[in-house]
Structure formats: structure tokens, C-alpha cells
């Protein structure tokens, strides 16, 4: 499989994991919508009750992970698609959690290679390519 094929396969996994993360936040904190985690006393890095997950708010987004950067996802609420850096971070977390096949390891550990493939895939998926 080519680098772009591998990155392209990450996109639906990223969307599904984001939906899971939003649902986790809504359920754990009784929020009207997941982005409410960005308000007031919810900001910061905190455990998610009833789970082994933590969240960290930043700007317009949230990073959900377990200790050791294992699993989870980092996303911005105001963006429907990940930027190449966040997609690479997502792939790294998924590799750490053993949720991706090892074929991804060499791609994820080579930032230049990953960035080139992700920029191409994101451009195509945005309809700009």
C-alpha cells in the first residue's frame, strides 16, 4: 500500500474516533454538546469520570488520551477534518494503543513522509485536488 492509501484509510477511523470522543465527553459530564467542555471550570487537563481517559482543552479543541499518549484523539471543534499534524498524532496514538497495523509505524515516525501524504489526501478529500 502507498503512503497516501494508508493515510486515506485513517480518515474514516479519525471521524469515528472523534464521534466517540464527543459522545464520551457529553455522557461523562452531562454536557448539552461536546464543545461545552471548553467553558469555565471544564478547561484544563482532567480525568474523565468513570473511565481511564483524560482530556486536555486547548484553544478551540480537546485532546482525549490515556496515560502515555495511548489511544484517543486531538481535534478542534471548529474543524471537520484534521490537519496533517493532528492526523499524524492520531495515528501515533492509535499505534501506541495497538489499534493500527504495524505497517503504519514507518510512515508515522517519518514526519516528512506523513506530512506529504496527508497534505495530498486532505487536499483530495476537500475536493481541491
pLDDT at 128: 41
pTM of this structure: 0.90
Q: What is the pLDDT of residues 24-55, one digit of tens each?
A: 999 999 999 999 999 989 999 999 999 999 99
Distances (CA, A) of 31 to 25, 34, 50, 68, 84: 7, 6, 15, 27, 29
| Separation CA 93–CA 95 (nearest Å) | 5
Q: What is the pLDDT of residues 56-101, one digit of tens each?
A: 999 999 999 999 889 999 999 999 988 899 999 999 999 999 999 9
Task: Locate the domains of the chain by residue range.
Answer: 3-125
Place of cell 478547561: 43
pLDDT at 103: 95
Grid coordinates standing for 92?
Answer: 501515533
| Separation CA 81–CA 55 (nearest Å) | 20
Amino acid at each position: 500500500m502507498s503512503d497516501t492509501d494508508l493515510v486515506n484509510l485513517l480518515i474514516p477511523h479519525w471521524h469515528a474516533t472523534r464521534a466517540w470522543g464527543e459522545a464520551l465527553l457529553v455522557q461523562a459530564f452531562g454536557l448539552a454538546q461536546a464543545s461545552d467542555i471548553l467553558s469555565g471550570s471544564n478547561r484544563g487537563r482532567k480525568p474523565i469520570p468513570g473511565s481511564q481517559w483524560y482530556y486536555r482543552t486547548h484553544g478551540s479543541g480537546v485532546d482525549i488520551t490515556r496515560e502515555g499518549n495511548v489511544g484517543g484523539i486531538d481535534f478542534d471543534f471548529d474543524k471537520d477534518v484534521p490537519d496533517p499534524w493532528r492526523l499524524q498524532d492520531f495515528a501515533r496514538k492509535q499505534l501506541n494503543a495497538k489499534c493500527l497495523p504495524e505497517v503504519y509505524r514507518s510512515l508515522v515516525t517519518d514526519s516528512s513522509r506523513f506530512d506529504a501524504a496527508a497534505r495530498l489526501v486532505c487536499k483530495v478529500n476537500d475536493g481541491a485536488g
